[in-house]
Structure 1
Amino acid sequence: MHSEILYSCFGLSRQALKAYKRDDSGPYANPYPGTNVEARNRLEYRTFISHHQFLIGSGFAPLCKRFEKSIASHFNAFRSGISGDWVHGEDFMHVFKHTLLAPALIDSVVGPALLERDPDFLANFWTIDDNVWSLTSRLPKFLIPKPHVALNKCLAAVKEWHAWAKEHSDPTATTVDSGEDDAYWGSKFVRERQVLFSTIDGQNQDTIASQDLGFLWGSNHNTVTSAFWLFADVFLRPELLQRIRKEAGSCQIESPERGLPKFDMERLQRQPYAQAVYAETLRLRTHGVILRQPSQDLQLNEWSIPKGSPVVTSSTTAHMNAAVWSAPQRGSRPATEFYPERFFLPKSESAEPEFSMSGTDGSWVPFGGGVHACPGRRFVKYETILTLAILVTVFDIEILASRKDLEMSERRFGFGVLEPRGRVPFRIRARASV
């Protein structure tokens, strides 16, 4: 299924798609019984290991380090034009996509060179994202020329950056092994993908560009929108905003140059309201389609599912299950209501709230589940909570959008986190206490 998205939306060639189709060996170290795929051509397993090492394993700490550095740089540039007086903006979702979060995420994966070398990359990137349903449906290009033009420009930018990085970098360099930045590739992960894909049948520089563009989209598509909803859900509720500010303040450590706050991230991510807002936002806003193809015949109650059959389910069914989310121990609130306190254990009036995911197995699935669960789930929590902590600490922000514009749009239903229906105008000022 992953390969179909790469083919439909990110220009993966038919030849490269066939390489994915031929690989029926599975994502585990030991191939599925009865398969006979060369070790070097085990695309699913090799990319699975690469992604997990980068997003969960040894690459996680360096990734967080690069993200903190990049998000600080982008926040400092953004706040340079904001004083103690109110400044109006047209759309805070646009700020997340073009000014703050998306460029920081891209920088943390591939370094700053890609965006520096193509100032139009983000505009084209989000045009692709805005048309994923049209691209997936494989409508003729003449009916949807705009996303195809944007796709070609993005692929050209990635290929040009690849060529530049190859020309200038030392392939034997090991600086990123210790977590340092790679001035050309950004991260060890991206540099090593050049080697990984070049050893697999059907892959070349064109397909590597498609793979990297697809990875960047996967890193941003749901993450940026999730971070936006954390921001909106908190800033629309003054009492909740004060609670989050208190938690962020308790985790703040010394401020670096120019006063941008730094936080004890281990402690910040354990704060009860920060965790509850994160969990509730993803529960309420994530409406994704989960696709699987079982490697063996399955029997689920009275249903028989033959090996290799496509199985489709939706996170919406689990996330809107009133029997789970409206239960008395979760506050008896409607599942359609934003209510982070449903993740708190019952307590006495004087006790501090205690966050818990107990009883939510199979009902909280914003990242899917099983071996194919999104490997970026740990980093998504890290970067969204950090972004929220900076926003609540540094700025006063009033959201000026109408209730209708803040409704979730179903236009991209099935692809994960839903965006707001309309633009989100706002006014912003620097907080006097920072």
Structure 2
Amino acid sequence: MTATITPLLTQQQIADYHEDGYLIVRNVLSRKEAAELRRIVQQEVIRDAYPSTLKYPQSAKYTVSGNRLAEPGLTAIAEHPTVVGAVESVLGQPAHLTAYVAYLRTPGDKGAGAHCDYKRWRPVGSSMNWVFAIIPLTDFDTEYGPFLVSPKSHKLTQVIDEDAHILDLTRPNAEQLASFIDPELKAGDLLVVNEHVWHKAPAGTTTEDRCGIFNKYCAVNAPPAAGYYPYNPAALDALSDDGKRLIPTCFDKPITTTRLLIEDTSSQESKFLLRSDTGLPGGEGWEEEKLVGWDVGARIGSLQELAKTQLDLEVPWMSYIEDIEEENGICRIYGFSHENLDVDGLANNGYDWFTESEMRQRLGETDAICHTADIWHQADLIRGKGKACHQSRQQFE
């Protein structure tokens, strides 16, 4: 695959992206390169794809994703210099690859209706600054099925308080959507799309497969509120030395536990809830059964249940902080802060509140929980609110 680095986007291109919500770069791949990558994707779909309940060529949308980027021929597009350069130009930050996704839509599939993909319950959709990087491997036209966007629709969602530690958003009003337009994407083009842009993909008429790469990248300073997708060492090793920086998390153990840093912000100095024997509340974590698919890694639903059981606390949202390697697996840690907690009611059953200085004195400067609190308060990180799958219909509440 061509490795020529395209110059950075012009200031006008970046301004147009922020105004319209999308940017087109033509001919990132040659027709020959696009055809070869399409052949590889088709081959991988035939071998094994999501959903596993269907078998190619049944009419459906099939996905080859995540750690499958390590398969021969699939890796290079994730770190293609033109793609990464355009993505990082509009993000204004170095990027992390939050999702590697190759889609194949067989004839007869009904396509997708109007929607946007900011989704607080999914690792791929819950960052406060992320983009699609869409590379058609067939033309996206009326024959194969176009990819339509609603210009400026990303502006329907606004940050409520830009000075808040955890950012919240207004609910978009779909009735205010501008008319959808067709960017007339050809095989090998690149479409960079803002996370809040509404789009749809009507069905085509062809008897051939519609195929494309739909990778997602977030800014390194805007981690997904639901937590990162867990890449494995094979995926990391498949990338070049320069490309390895795109992988945000990598481990060869499963995410087995999850814990919650609870912060009381009712006074000038924050306090954190700790238990003398177990540290942070939490325990065994699990995937929710619905709406997960290939986008695994979130533990918000299980941690909400644990908080309710252990503390009788309803946690309406939480935001990913970090992953810690333990003997038998990975512990995924989230944070939650509020100024109206029942402080006295929560300080029982071995739990108590500690200021950051008290916590350091009790646990030691190098303790993992103190490090977690440091990351939670890291001023240069942009955090949003993560939700559980069961809250998907109320994500803006």
| TM-score, scaled to structure 1 | 0.25
TM-score of the superposition, structure 2-length normalised? 0.26
Higher helix share: 1
